[in-house]
Homo-oligomer: A and B are copies of this chain.
Amino acid sequence: MNLLKKLMSNLTTTPVIEINLNKLIDNYRLLSRVIAPAIPSAVVKDDAYGVGAVEVSKALYERAGCRNFWVAHALEAEKIIEVCPEAKIYVLQGIGHDSLPLFKKYKFIPVISSLEMWHFYKKHKLDGVNPVIYVETGLNRLGFREDDLKKLSSKDLKSFSLVMSHLACADEKDHFMNEHQLENFKRLKEKYFKGLPASLSASDGAFLGPDFCFDMVRLGAAMYGINTAPYRENQMKNIITLKAPVLQIASLEKGEFVGYSATYRANTNRKIAIVSIGYGDGVPRSLSNIGKVFFKVSSKWVEARILGRVSMDNIICDVTDVKDLQVGEFGYFIMDDYTLDDIARDAGTIGYEIISRLGKNKRFIKKYILSAR
């Protein structure tokens, strides 16, 4: 019973996510050098890709001098302006009835992407704010098509502070769309917005070279550690560590099944661990029977394969080869040697979707790492 008592002292049940803001700032600075002399700006939409818009914005504002931030919805900007009082906050989804009071109160900068929105904006003209105009160049998502640009008066065209567009395939260096969109953007800028500051690229475009950087680059995914230039080794630092405690270790006999719908069957005797995390915490269910959990043994990582279906609160993995594993030890789901990109590959998606799901959960112990100044 002595060993048992020792084990008990480690017993915990809550998953833990660590967000390393030091490394996020390092990524921001490295990207800023890559894009210079273009100005860096930070994309903190979707609660800073799920990791916490207030914490990320504050760190970039206070430590890295960032003064330009992008969100999708005005309601996301309200908490950011509190911690970044002198910042410009651009709102990508633009302005509408539901967000008008926020624009009036805080002077957020709407991104105007259609004729309808332009007329709405003019009607409710916000003093002292020059909006951004979004022109469509090939993604076929939001943005003015040229037919509608032609309907703007020359006075209208002079109302904007920035012209922007967005690349579709910037993570593939030689994709024909990159040049196609660049040429479209240059042509529209020359024809309708001569002399106006411009922004074409997000952090994937940053690596396509100086032609793509114009006056401002919108740094998002790469800043959060995702490799937005997957045709070469990642230059960014991983900022996320996700781990959860082992609640129980058990034997699985040959012939036994694991998890919902009995999708895993043991063909030999195995040792399994039940880890206290699931898709309810943002670990995708598509990792069922595919994903990996990592355990540190004598300072080396040992892989444990996920067995059966990922359930809402628990994941079962094969720890037959994990020596001396004890209840209360942590299994790692994201760390420097198994990054957002790696878990995304195993889950059949992209790092952006993984990170965006994870951070929003309320059941984590959430830790931010940021050095004292």
> Residues of A with Cβ closer than 8 Å to B?
1, 4-5, 7-14, 45-47, 49-50, 72-76, 92-99, 113-117, 119-120, 123, 136, 138-143, 145, 168-169, 171-172, 175, 177, 245, 247-248, 250-252, 256-262, 272, 274, 276, 279-280, 282, 284-286, 308, 311-314, 316, 327-328, 348-350, 352-353, 356-357, 360-363, 365
Contacts and interface: CB of A to CB of B under 8 A. Distances in A.
Contacts of A285: 349-350, 353
Given A8-B116, A11-B97, A261-B172, A363 B72 contact: yes
Nearest to A134: B248
Contacts of A365: 98
A360 B363 contact: no
Contact of A360 (B95, B145, B257, B361): B361
Contact of A72 (B12, B75, B138, B312): B312
Given A98-B365, A168-B260, 20 more contacts: A7-B116, A11-B96, A12-B98, A13-B99, A14-B98, A45-B313, A50-B280, A72-B312, A75-B363, A114-B247, A114-B327, A139-B259, A141-B258, A141-B311, A142-B247, A142-B314, A145-B250, A177-B257, A312-B352, A360-B360
Contacts of A350: 285
B11 A248 contact: no
A261 B282 CA distance: 25
Given A257-B177, A274-B141, A4 B115 contact: yes
B313 A72 contact: yes
B94 A247 contact: yes
In order of increasing CB-CB distance, the 10 nearest A-B pairs are A46-B280, A12-B96, A72-B313, A11-B96, A13-B96, A12-B98, A13-B93, A8-B120, A114-B248, A140-B258
A14 B357 contact: no
A93 B168 contact: no
Contacts of A284: 353
A318 to B, nearest CB: 11
B47 A257 contact: no
A167 to B, nearest CB: 9
